Structure 1
């Protein structure tokens, strides 16, 4: 039985690390892509996965990442586009270079990684592209214009790629979580408090969980469990789907 090879971007912390660990448990050979720092290298080493250093804001880095997976692991069956970051600011104050970088990391890079990895994913006849979008790929909130624009675009890309990939057995789906308890979310607390003029201790209840029916933050393992299913053979008939893991946010 051949080993399934997976690449997870943003794979050394938060949701990405949770996905890396779950796919390992599922028996996959996993590569974690992230920025080239000593901490990220150490996390990947401790997890026992191939570390791929890359800045996804750079076009050439996307191509080299796919080449490294192919060379080091011998192919690619599952691509999880998870990497991202947030900047919270009103549009009138939003830094132009930050906008450019965010769209490149969260929208252009998933396209490029899919494009460069397309033949590898199609070769096995069971390729999976799983895009970690967000509830903000379907609804909007103030002060997050670049993030929300990128995530809306990622859902559009998901649907288009699903139509194109079907003939070669590549399925493409998007997962849309609500707020997940990660270092990235922790870093948002002060920015959200500042832009909304709230005490920092009220941000989770009055901003992050206010639209949700279930008043608890998700954990990375919750997202990873859904990725595990979408990456499995059982999900062969699912493509072009937008899967909400949003605590009931969009049920209103």
Structure 2
């Protein structure tokens, strides 16, 4: 599945899931635009490394996904946007009655509203090019719920809804929109939580992973960033021309329960 000649813009992609997706898209031949809210030398160096490793054009563009005008500017600055991967997201855990209003606003802005703004800016670009793919990184929490994650669950359910609307509005065009719904993914952030969780519960690493972190994931295995990236490559390929407006769960069976 080659994506040679296509340009992919991936939000929130200087680490974790977004970076894994960017690497897999570049591996498939796509030029990539990395993004986050920082503007460090290492951000630009990361893009340069990916470009050299896979023989593609790779750039880093700073944009704060909590601000609609910066979301739209990201697409404009990218020049072209054949594949848009809306990945940026944050999390906060608290009961509804104790949930800080500012955290709610930030999660809705970054996890949901940013996808609206980038998509609104990207669709005219895709229409002009005569082809496009919008891939929204939702979550198992876009299909089900957990307590104490009201903003995250609401935002991810909203992403799934936005995905369906986008697909319907582009259904007669060579543009598709789908959502990927990961379960727990082994990222550096999750990896860093394991030692503290081991200490908290007095468990060894394997037990913490199986009984605490992956309690709701029947496979008892993390999804990997490479697997999510591979799913993006598939959705961007011609094999997925008639896949639109749906969700693909990469959750080890979580939403089958």
Query: What count of residue pairs does the alignment treat as equivalent?
Result: 246
- The residue number in structure 1 matching 2:63 is 54
Q: Give the C-alpha shift of residue 245 in structure 1.
A: 0.8
Q: Give the C-alpha shift of residue 166 in structure 1.
A: 1.6
- The residue number in structure 2 matching 1:134 is 139
Q: Residues 138, 190 of structure 1: CA spacing in aligned structure 2 closer, same or farther, 3 A cutoff?
A: farther
Map 1:26-37 to 2 at 5 A.
26-37=28-39
Secondary structure at 2:148's aligned position in 1?
coil
- The residue number in structure 2 matching 1:4 is 6
TM-score (norm 1): 0.90
Structure 2 CA distance for aligned equivalents of residues 185 and 192 of structure 1: 10
What whole-Å deviation, never above 9, does each CA across 1:86-114 have from its counterpart, x for those lacking one? 11222222211111011111110001100
Decide which of 231, 237, 241 is 2:236's aligned counterpart.
231
Gap runs ≥5 in structure 1:
none
Contact kept, 8 Å, 2:184 with 2:217, in 1: the verdict is: no
Secondary structure at 1:176's aligned position in 2?
strand
Contact kept, 8 Å, 2:176 with 2:243, in 1: the verdict is: yes
Structure 1 CA distance for aligned equivalents of residues 193 and 117 of structure 2: 28
- The residue number in structure 2 matching 1:65 is 74
Gap runs ≥5 in structure 2:
52-57
Secondary structure at 2:130's aligned position in 1?
coil
Q: Give the C-alpha shift of residue 146 in structure 1.
A: 1.0
Q: Give the C-alpha shift of residue 76 in structure 1.
A: 1.4
- The residue number in structure 1 matching 2:106 is 101
What whole-Å deviation, never above 9, does each CA across 1:191-246 have from its counterpart, x for those lacking one? 989xxx85586653334311222111111001111111001111101000110111
Structure 2 CA distance for aligned equivalents of residues 60 and 188 of structure 1: 34
Q: Residues 43, 249 of structure 1: CA spacing in aligned structure 2 closer, same or farther, 3 A cutoff?
A: same
TM-score (norm 2): 0.88
Q: Quick check: 235-244 or 82-91, which moved more?
A: 82-91
Map 1:39-188 to 2 at 5 A.
39-48=42-51, 49-70=58-79, 75-186=80-191
